[in-house]
Structure 1
Amino acid sequence: MDLKLTGLSRSGVAALGSAAALITGLAGEPPARGAVPAHAWPDIVPPRQPQLTVSERNRVLALPFLVERGWSYRQYQCLDRLWMRESSWNHRARNPWSGAYGIPQALPAGKMRTAGADWRTSPATQIKWGLGYIKSRYGTPCAAWGHSAATGWY
């Protein structure tokens, strides 16, 4: 049986090999309960998977919504610039001066209620509402970004 061992250090591979040697017939029956003492198993820590930040998760979440609208990657880049400036893609962002809230910085925040009851906590609901707002007010994210770049708001 060929095993590919990726993401392990040399010592991790050696430890894994030693542990596997204790088990008879890797492809067959597992060893009887208690046949391999617990102290014989090395402490193997799996490689860390990269964790996305809240901003990164929300940015990835937005992509299918733009595709549904038929908007290009260029439109996504404009949206990314716009919402990075507004909220850093944080779905809990609140402007302390105006009260604007969420990824699109809706003002008043309660307007997002039209997209779903979970508007306070759901990035997807906020993104859907924000894209609808952009479509109705500016036509495209690039037009919204152009307005924001010129005026400081959208």
Structure 2
Amino acid sequence: MSRLWTRFGVRTLAVALLVTGVTGGYFLGQDRETQQVAINAQLVADAERAEFELLRERNAAHKLAMAAQLAAEREAARKAAETAKAAAERARKADAAADRKKRETKAANAAANAPAKPYDGPIPDSCNEYSGNRAVGCALMLQAGFPLAEMPCLEKLWTKESGWNPKASNPSGAYGIPQAKPGSKMSSAGSDWQNSAATQIKWGLGYIKGRYNTPCGAWSYFQSKGYY
């Protein structure tokens, strides 16, 4: 009986140990599999996190590169605009200088070629401001239809030509106050043309009116040419 129990107990114990081992092995295998799944999941998560970090770093680097490129393009555009502005300003100044030079040259040429100004000085109040043959000339000039403002021109013209001397002459044949050439032309105004200041002045005023319109016109021509 004792030996039978002993065999039964051993067998029972062996079976129990076997069941326990199998069960333990099963759960151990299950735990290892779970652990491996967890490890794999962690590896995947780590890989994804590492890839995300890499993408984020690349994106940040790309943004920095784009910002640097944009800044460089803006700086290049700014410098190009400044260069163009400076060139335009230089061109504007050069054109302005050329235009100014052209105007100055044109003005100088016009001044050189323009006839001398007639008379722009004071105008006498009346012929009483003159005496002698000049007073006669002033009165006859008004009778011929010229305004008193023309008298200064007439006075200067015949002062240059003859000094208002009715007997003035020169080797060219010009004679009298208006320096008619020849003097005999003045006979159309009177037979006393050789001695009469009034006759000479009448002829001279007719000559001026027919050729220069006014005494100031004759004086302007004289200033330009030296004769009239």
Which category of TM-score, normalised to the shorter sequence, fits these structures? 0.5 to 0.7
In structure 2, which of residues 170, 174, 184 is the aligned counterpart of residue 110 of structure 1? 184
The alignment's TM-score, normalised by the length of structure 1, stands at 0.62
Residue type of the partner of 2:186? Answer: M
d(CA) in 1 for partners of 2:136 and 2:143? 12
Is the contact made by 2:166 and 2:177 (CA closer than 8 Å) also made in structure 1? yes
Return the alpha-carbon distance in structure 1 between the equivalents of residues 179 and 145 of structure 2: 23
- 1:88 Cα deviation after fit: 0.2
5+ long unaligned stretches in structure 2: 1-129
Measure the CA separation in 1 of the matches of 2:161 and 2:141: 18
Q: Which residue does the alignment assign to 2:138?
A: 63
Tell me the percent identity. Answer: 52
Query: What is the rounded CA distance, in whole Å, between the counterparts of 2:142 and 2:173 in structure 1?
Result: 30
Match of 1:144 in 2: 218
Partner letter of residue 156 of structure 2? R
Superposition deviation, residue 73 in structure 1? 2.2
For 2:197 and 2:191, locate their aligned partners in 1 and report how far apart those are by CA, in whole Å.
12
Matches within 5 A, 1:1-154: 56-95=131-170, 97-154=171-228
More helix by share: 2
Q: Deviations over 1:16-57 (max 9, x none)?
A: xxxxxxxxxxxxxxxxxxxxxxxxxxxxxxxxxxxxxxx941
Give the total of aligned pairs: 99
SS, match of residue 157 in structure 2:
helix
Q: Over aligned residues, Cα RMSD in angstroms?
A: 1.3
Aligned partner of 1:51 in structure 2 is none
Confirm or deny: 8 A CA contact 2:150 2:215 kept in the other structure: yes
Q: Within 2, Cα distance between the matches of 1:74 and 1:149?
A: 18
Alpha-carbon displacement from aligned partner over 1:114-147 (angstroms, at most 9, x marks no partner)? 0000000000000000000000011000000000
Q: What TM-score does the superposition give when structure 2 sets the normalisation length? A: 0.42
3-state SS of the aligned residue for 2:221?
Answer: helix
Moved over 6 A (4+): none
AA aligned opposite 1:102: G
Distance between the aligned counterparts of 2:144 and 2:193, measured in 1? 20
**Partner Cα separation in structure 1 for residue 157 and residue 131 of structure 2:** 15
Give the C-alpha shift of residue 69 in structure 1: 2.3
Q: Which residue of 2 aligns with 1:24?
A: none
Deviations 1:34-93 (A, max 9, x none): xxxxxxxxxxxxxxxxxxxxx941001112211112322221100000000000000000
